[in-house]
């Protein structure tokens, strides 16, 4: 399927390279639309990019070319990948501080697609503490950077700051969409997601704050990468991912039964569900009435599903999650060993952008071979892709 590239061009002498980039992306089979800032239009006219992309060029947020849609929202939703090239110090500073005062910055704040930033500026500007600070902030927010190359700059200096060559950027885009397209082809994955509900009486239950978004993202991305995916999920309002077999359950006991049933049928198990560790020892058939004084409910342990799988995994890949509030590395490594896992995905749920319910996460991968990989805050779908790449590497080593 043809992928949609939104090319965002800010004002610098390197705009002439963006014309070449547009042409090369179109030749590579991508559908390209272009946004230009007012300054960019001073270097190369929008007509050039219209001819090269074969699409209208967007320069003014108030110029609505199609009255049936809001242009910047429509473009933000349309894109599979956004590239800012060239990205000036000014545009990077605006993005880092959430400023949306033109078509380019407004669209970038609205998109959920991956955003790649290709800086181009004077060598001293690129090395300025404010620019470095803004780049780091954007990186932590999930933006990715195409590092500028070194060479002769328009200002006369020689150094780092030259926009990466269009051929190299095009190759990066092709790799992004094609290298992993069939990464998991022929594999079977079992993913668990969401919370469980442990019934107290007909109107009350014991549960947790998990939304299931991380597990659903993993299942969705795994299916896109060619895997046969089964998702066992606790209560969630999320829509079933496309091409995924979904089994909806309520309790930890239900989760155990279905996971045990599906386990022999799968090569890889990614257990992201937040399964209750305890359940009420007694479940009442009628609603408990309030009484004076303190209410005490006795709890008993549920079956540790992950530990059980660890004892029987054989050559399968088994991944667990550790949602912690402190001592992340200590608890993750302990879980890795005690449950015989190949990998633990750990996060601090108290950290902004990493807790339950949200669309982003900040995780660390702890591998059985001792490797630890820390990721910045990313959309959960991007975290899922990073995770699946690591899982594939583990699977390949086993084979």
Which residues are part of a known binding site for CTP? 277, 287, 321, 335, 339
- Helices then strands, each counted (H, E), the chain: 13, 22
Nearest to 399, CA basis, from 295, 312, 316:
316
Find the catalytic residue in 155, 172, 260, 354: 155
CA pair distance 118, 95, nearest whole angstrom = 13
Taking CA 354 as the corner, what is the angle to CA 360 and CA 304, rounded to the nearest 5 degrees?
110
Instruction: State yes or no: is 8 an active-site residue.
Output: no
CA-atom Rg of the chain in angstroms: 25
Distances (CA, A) of 7 to 32, 62, 169: 7, 19, 12
CA pair distance 64, 60, nearest whole angstrom = 8
Residues 6+ apart with CB under 8 A from 161: 119, 120, 121, 122, 123, 125, 126, 148, 150, 153
Residues 6+ apart with CB under 8 A from 397: none
By annotation, the residues acting in catalysis are 155
């Amino acid at each position: 399927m043809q992928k949609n590239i939104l090319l965002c061009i800010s004002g610098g002498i390197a705009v002439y390279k963006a014309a070449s980039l547009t042409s090369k992306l179109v030749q590579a089979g991508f559908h390209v639309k272009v946004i230009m800032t007012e300054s960019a239009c001073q270097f190369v006219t929008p007509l050039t990019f219209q001819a090269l992309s074969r699409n209208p060029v967007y320069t003014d947020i108030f110029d609505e070319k199609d009255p049936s849609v809001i242009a910047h929202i429509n473009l933000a939703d349309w894109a599979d990948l956004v590239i800012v090239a060239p990205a000036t110090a000014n545009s990077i500073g605006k993005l880092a501080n959430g400023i949306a005062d033109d078509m380019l910055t407004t669209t970038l704040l609205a998109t959920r697609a991956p955003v790649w930033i290709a800086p181009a500026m004077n060598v001293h500007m690129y090395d300025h503490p404010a620019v470095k600070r803004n780049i780091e902030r954007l990186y932590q927010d999930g933006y990715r950077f195409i590092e500028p190359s070194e060479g002769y700059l328009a200002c006369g200096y020689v150094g780092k700051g030259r926009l990466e060559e269009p051929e190299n950027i095009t190759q990066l885009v092709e790799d992004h969409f094609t290298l992993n397209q069939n990464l998991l082809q022929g594999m079977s994955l079992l993913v668990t997601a969401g919370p469980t509900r442990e019934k107290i009486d007909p109107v009350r239950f014991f549960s947790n704050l998990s939304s299931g978004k991380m597990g659903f993202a993993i299942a969705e991305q795994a299916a896109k990468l060619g895997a046969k995916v089964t998702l066992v999920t606790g209560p969630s309002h999320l829509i079933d991912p496309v091409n995924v077999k979904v089994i909806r359950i309520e309790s930890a006991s239900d989760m155990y039964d279905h996971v045990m049933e599906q386990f022999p049928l799968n090569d890889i198990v990614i257990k992201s569900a937040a399964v209750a560790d305890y359940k009420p020892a007694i479940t009442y058939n009628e609603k408990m009435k309030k009484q004076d004084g303190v209410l005490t409910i006795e709890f008993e342990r549920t079956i540790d599903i992950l530990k059980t799988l660890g004892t029987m995994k054989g050559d399968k890949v088994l991944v667990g999650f550790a949602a912690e509030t402190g001592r992340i590395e200590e608890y993750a490594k302990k879980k890795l060993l005690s449950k015989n896992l190949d990998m633990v995905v750990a996060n601090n749920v108290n950290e902004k952008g990493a807790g339950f319910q949200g669309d982003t996460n900040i995780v660390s991968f702890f591998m059985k071979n001792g490797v630890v990989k820390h990721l910045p805050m990313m959309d959960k779908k991007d975290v899922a892709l990073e995770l699946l790449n690591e899982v594939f590497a583990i699977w390949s080593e086993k084979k």
